[in-house]
A and B are shown apart, each in its own frame.
Chain A
Amino acid sequence: MPKTKAAAASKTVGRKKGFIHNLKMDKWLYILMIPGLLHYIIFKYAPMWGLVIAFQDYNPFLGLFKSPWVGLKHFQMFFSNSMFGTLFSNTLWVSFLNIIFSFPAPIILALMMNELRFQRYKRVVQTCVYIPHFLSWVIVASLTYTLFSPTGVVNRVLESIGIARVQFLTSQDLFRPMIVGQTIWKGAGWGTIIYLAAIAGVDTQLYEAAIVDGAGRFRQLWHVTLPALRSTVVLMLILKLGDVLDTGFEQIYMMSNSLNRAVSETFDTYVYTVGITQGSYSYSTAVGLFKSVIGIILIFGSNALAKRAGESGIF
């Protein structure tokens, strides 16, 4: 027994020595790391203490230290709220549809662009599909309103070919398709960057070997490109699952109105209504905290699943 203890002790000492040794050896690298670390500590970790207001009745004048503590009151209020079910399902619906439809969109687009032979044309296409990413949601929403309003271009076209007008903006059934459509339009092009990079990294010898084996374009895609993309796709999917409850406040808020509220009220818009317009900072912080906790659970969960399936995961 004492022997093993001593061995363990010497082992930790050895490790410690190693750490200090490493520190000395790579000191310049560690010094280079300091600004980054500071950024994360000051701007990402320190503000997290603000989360304590979820357990207080926060008043800006009384501040963090004088506001009364109320324990889990806000969480109880939230979970017992009759809105909770609606919010939860609305949020999940939007996220679910986004994962089914918006997530694969950049992959498909990247594969299509990869097949373009003429380099200059490819570059023009790439630039064009990146542009929507740089437009803010306000602009995307106003474009949507202009195009899809009852007297907008789309309805004019429908009318001219003899189809009845469609209430794109106020219909409850069309709200989710519109949201997913906007997300794809805005984000698909930008999303291709990572996939195109991964595709560019595929060893060309693999393609040559496949051609020798008699594979056509589609077979090459299926047996070479897609397997090469797999780990990137899994990685992106894990990251995506992490913010499954983040539906993007601006987009939803601007597309919601009195007639589609039953499907358009999500956690994000709810936090805005309650937190900002009513000034219930503590309550909305509690809602936000709940969202983040779910996000973390999903990230860990999907990461573990990915590892079990033989992928490398994100950590």
Chain B
Amino acid sequence: MKRRSVLALIMAMLLVFSAFAGCQDSGNSSQESSAAQEQSTAEESKAESEESQATQDSVVDEPRQSVSIMSITFNGNPVGDDNDRVLMLEEYTNYDIEFTWVLDADYNDKINSMMAGGTLPEITLLKSLSSSVIQNCRAGAFWDLTDYLANYNNLSQINETVLQNTAIDGKTYGIPRTRTLMRNGIVYRQDWLEAVGLEPATNLDEFTEILRAFTFDDPDGDGQNDTWGLMSTKASTGFDTICMWFGAPNGWGEKDGQLQPAFLFDEYMDGMNYLKDLYDEGILNEDFPVLENSGTKDGFKAEQTGIYISNCDEANSWYTYFADQGIDATMTVTAQFETPAGKVVAPTDGHAGMLSIFTGAVKDEENLDRCLTFLDRCNDKTAEDLLENGILDVDYTLNADGETITKIDGNPSLGESDGFNQIMMDVLDNGYTVTPSNAVAEQVLAAQQENSDYILANPAKVLLLASDTYNANGSQLDQIMSDARIQYIVGSIDQAGWEAAIANWRTMGGDSVIEEVNAVNSAA
């Protein structure tokens, strides 16, 4: 009897524990929603108190309207509704903005659950064109804006290529968060180059020479073999770029009269063999298949590697980082060097997702106009300065030349909170005032400028969105090939294994993807 009761007690306690564990999630979300309520009540009271001074700085003299918007916070401490930046943006646009903030990690799940519950705000930031976004757009969850954009001053000027890249079935479902189409360049540690007595590469052989020297010639001079010539991560960043140097297309290319993915090209194999040699020689970091995606950037900061081939804007933040940490490091940024395939560089998508308008919350054209007007005003220079730089004389000061600014450390008006600049679309591309460039920043811009002439675009980028098989199975298909590529490079499969992976890719739906992409291509 005694034994039974002790057991029962323990079991009961375990049950209670598990019940608590189960409650955690729902607890969180109720907290969130109560926070959201507080926000909106704060909103109302503030709106009342400011009615009198509301129209002072606004673009137009009209009764103030309101708009609700959902966006991302990365650190869970989003900017408050009473923050000066928010208030000034509200004054400028003449809109009361009701923010809903969601943590980056939960963002996509949240969109779907809020959509199912019909509680999605009027304007929603969609981080990328994932297949669930595409499905939702097709089902009519967001307004088709194609015919409306022309009516707005800024929104009518969105870059054509960017619009095409965000289009689903040829229709525009949101205002893209426009980004520079060319970001890539090659960043070298200049002091390492000097230490091993080499210059930035002008062709692939010289580049390989540098990789070898950065690995084995102790460029950091600490007497230890602790540097990698080339660092990659489990996302195998940059491998596609390197295959392009050997003549493989960017993503997809034309072969035998139809569009086919890059890995079906013989030139792709050449690129992989080059990488395999680097790995076998110990130049490519051994642990890349398990390294987290930030590994290369972290490695550059931790002085484990001295070459970075990707978004060379990073050099700007490293410049600040090295200066802050007192690390004596210099950098050189160059454009693409000569390769067997000539000078080729992949462009970016030119966008970082888009701001879309939920049909469940915005029912008619009149309200659509209200939302679009707000978004249009957010693209004005004054609004963008608020979003990107903050408040004049609080967050930054205007330089003597009247065109550039100097930022004040720590963004005083924001403090630790974040998320505010996430709703910036910047459709006019750098519509805000910039800081004067340092030596590295100038090189970055020059490299990006030069690389813009070498763009090799992915002809199937947009077409893939129309492939039903890719939407349903895309991430699995991509995983098959990226796994096989890593396995080939580290030598756990050989050429036959690689071909088996391709055969697997084909039967798992790859053949249908090729078919569907080409069907759309020939129809267009």
Chain A positions within 8 Å of B, measured between CB atoms, are: 39, 43, 59-64, 82-83, 145, 149-151, 169-170, 193-194, 197-198, 200-203, 228, 232, 257-259, 261, 273-274, 276-281
Contact = CB atoms under 8 A, between A and B. Distances in A.
B483 A197 contact: no
B165 interface: no
Contact of A61 (B3, B22, B139): B139
Interface of B: 2-4, 6-7, 9-11, 14, 19, 22, 26, 108-109, 111-113, 115-116, 130-132, 135-136, 139-141, 234, 236, 286-287, 289-290, 360, 471-476, 479, 482-483, 486-487, 490, 492, 504, 507-508
Given A150-B286, A261-B483, A280-B472, A60 B136 contact: yes
3 nearest A-B residue pairs (beta carbon): A201-B3, A279-B132, A61-B141
Contacts of B141: 60-61
B contact patch SS: helix
Given A60-B116, A273-B476, 13 more contacts: A59-B139, A61-B141, A61-B360, A82-B507, A170-B290, A194-B7, A198-B7, A201-B6, A259-B483, A259-B490, A261-B483, A278-B472, A280-B131
A228 B22 CA distance: 32
B61 to A, nearest CB: 38
A82 B140 CA distance: 34
Contacts of A280: 131, 472
A62 B138 CA distance: 11
Given A43-B22, A149-B287, A258-B483, A62 B6 contact: no
Nearest to A255: B290
A278 B19 contact: no
Given A193-B10, A201-B2, A259-B486, A278 B473 contact: yes
Contacts of B360: 61
Nearest to B359: A61
A112 B58 CA distance: 76
A258 B7 contact: no
A278 B115 contact: no
25 contacts: A39-B19, A59-B139, A60-B113, A61-B136, A61-B139, A63-B116, A82-B504, A149-B287, A149-B290, A151-B287, A170-B289, A194-B7, A194-B11, A197-B6, A197-B7, A257-B289, A257-B290, A258-B482, A259-B492, A273-B476, A278-B131, A278-B471, A279-B130, A279-B132, A279-B135
A193 B131 CA distance: 46
A52 to B, nearest CB: 13
B234 A257 contact: yes
A43 B24 CA distance: 12
Contacts of B471: 278
Nearest to B116: A60
Nearest to B472: A280
A156 to B, nearest CB: 13
Nearest to A151: B287
Nearest to B292: A145
